[in-house]
Amino acid sequence: MTDKDFNNCVDAYSDGVYRFIVKNLGHEADAQDIVQTAFEKLWVNRAKVENEKAKSYLFTIAYHQMIDHIRKDKRNNTTDNFEEVKISIHQEGNGELKQILLKAINELNPTQRSLVLLKDYEGYSYQEIGEIMDLSESQVKVYLHRARLLLKEKLVHLEKMRA
Amino acid sequence: MKINTTNYEEYFLLYIDNELSTEQKTAVENFIEANPNYQKEFELLKQTVFAPEPFEFEDKILLYRLEEMEASLTTTFKQSLCRNEGKVIEGYFNTKLIRSIAAVAAIVILIIGYNLIPTTGKQNNQTELTKNVLLPINNTEHNIGVSSNQDQKLVVQNKIHKIAQNSTKPTSTLPSIATEKTDITPQVGMIQSITNSTGRLANYENEIHTAPIVNNSVAITSLKEKITSNEASVVSEAKEEFENINTDNPDRTIYIANMEIDGDKLRGFTRRIGALIKRNKTEKEK
């Protein structure tokens, strides 16, 4: 990867990496730090990373950084983070269904939430998600399907409430 | 693999995750058409998919790597920035020995300057009184040897007259004169001794005049020798007195080349050095 390729990666992937992290964490400043760390590592290892693998490399680094950050945060105060996530996602929602879905995704664990976001936002395949999150393809499939069914139950519950 | 009522959920999930081939997708759609009661469940699962929304990372400038950011200095330029601390060389006058030598040399120069210059200084600054005392006496000494006895008498008388005049000067004119006057009193005593000696001188003359007209040259010469010896004793006495008078001279200016130093301020210092020199001299003489 050349210097120019790296700068192209910044243009192409920084928004997606940032969105993935901020939707998971719900904290913009922490998400920015994680994105910066991810690109810093890409720059350091640019000689080893192929241009085609740059995106998954960035998401992989960002995801692991985020998990480390969540673990560190859990030792201190977990409830605050949850509130922050709720607030940030509530602000972005429009429509009752979307709000319920956003509330439901906040109730998922970080792994399930990451699976949904990587699948829906970035369109990664199970295999690619498995590479990013260090999971097997079957694990991705099982965990993601479980997350979908949970979200569906939330929607069913909403339907029942309306009825 | 055929879609049925037991495995439809997995196919539905694979369908919304876009993990099925086109044929499998068609198979799922056909299953829903054939079983419309699964339509609602399929729609609910489709609603769990989050549509991608635009999101921008604003601080991309922090991520870009520009050439200027990676600029580095060459090794030659870095070497030019290096500084080595040089050895500290002690100054020539830093050692104690040289300092002490310099101090001793300065003292020696001062002593030499003090010993050379004051002789002329003292002579120039002598008071009129001392001049009056010294010069006539020297003249008398000279005259006694050369001129007649009558002339000697007159000169001595003049000298005595002058000294008397000086001694009767009013004390209120100047404080320096007052000191002079106090100095004069021993001089007057000296003058009295001089007058005594001149009196004796007159007696000798009478002896010469009243003596029989025998030109006894031996007698005359013996008398003259007596006179000279008498006068020499008078002069030595006067000289001693003169030296005593000069010690109280208030003007103690020291001249070193073109530089003038007030001797009064260095009085204590010069006295000490003078005392040291005298002590050394006396020790050497012993």
- Is the pLDDT at B19 greater than 50? The verdict is yes
| Structure-model confidence comparison of residues A157 and B70, the more confident one | A157
Q: Which residue has the higher pLDDT, B234 or A133?
A: A133
B259 beta partners: B256
Nearest to B13 among A39, A117, A148 (CB): A148
A interface test, pick of B18, B44, B58 with most A CB neighbours within 10 Å: B44
**Interchain pair A148, B16: CB under 8 A:** yes
Q: In chain B, which ranges are E strands?
A: 254-256, 259-261
The model's confidence at residue B236, banded by pLDDT at 50, 70 and 90, is: low
Select from B10, B19, B45 the Cβ nearest to the Cβ of A152: B45
- In angstroms, the separation between the Cα of residue B22 and the nearest Cα of chain A is 16
Residues of chain A above pLDDT 90, percent: 51
Residues of A in contact with B63 (CB under 8 A): 10, 14, 35-36, 39
Instruction: Give the least confident one: B143-147, B198-202, B275-279.
Output: B143-147
* pTM for this model (two decimals): 0.50
Query: pLDDT-derived band of residue B272, with 50, 70 and 90 as boundaries?
Result: confident
B237: confidence class by pLDDT, cuts 50, 70, 90: low
What pLDDT is attached to residue B85? 77
The tens digit of pLDDT for each residue in B152-188 reads: 555 555 555 555 555 444 444 444 444 444 444 555 5
The residue among A78 and A24 whose pLDDT is bigger is A24
Question: For A73-94, what is the mean pLDDT?
Answer: 51
Instruction: Give chain A as a 3 state SS string.
Output: CCHHHHHHHHHHHHHHHHHHHHHHHCCHHHHHHHHHHHHHHHHHCCCCCCHHHHHHHHHHHHHHHHHHHHHHHHHHCHHHHHHHHHHHHHHHCCCHHHHHHHHHHHCCCHHHHHHHHHHHCCCCCHHHHHHHHCCCHHHHHHHHHHHHHHHHHHHHHHHHHHC
Whether residues B65 and A101 touch (CB distance < 8 A) is answered with no
- Check pLDDT > 80 for residue B150: no
Tell me the chain B residues in contact with residue A32 when contact means C-beta distances shorter than 8 Å: 57, 59
How far off is chain B from A98, nearest CA to CA, in Å?
A: 9
Q: Give residue B259's pLDDT.
A: 67
Calculate how close chain B gets to A144, using CA atoms only, in Å.
9
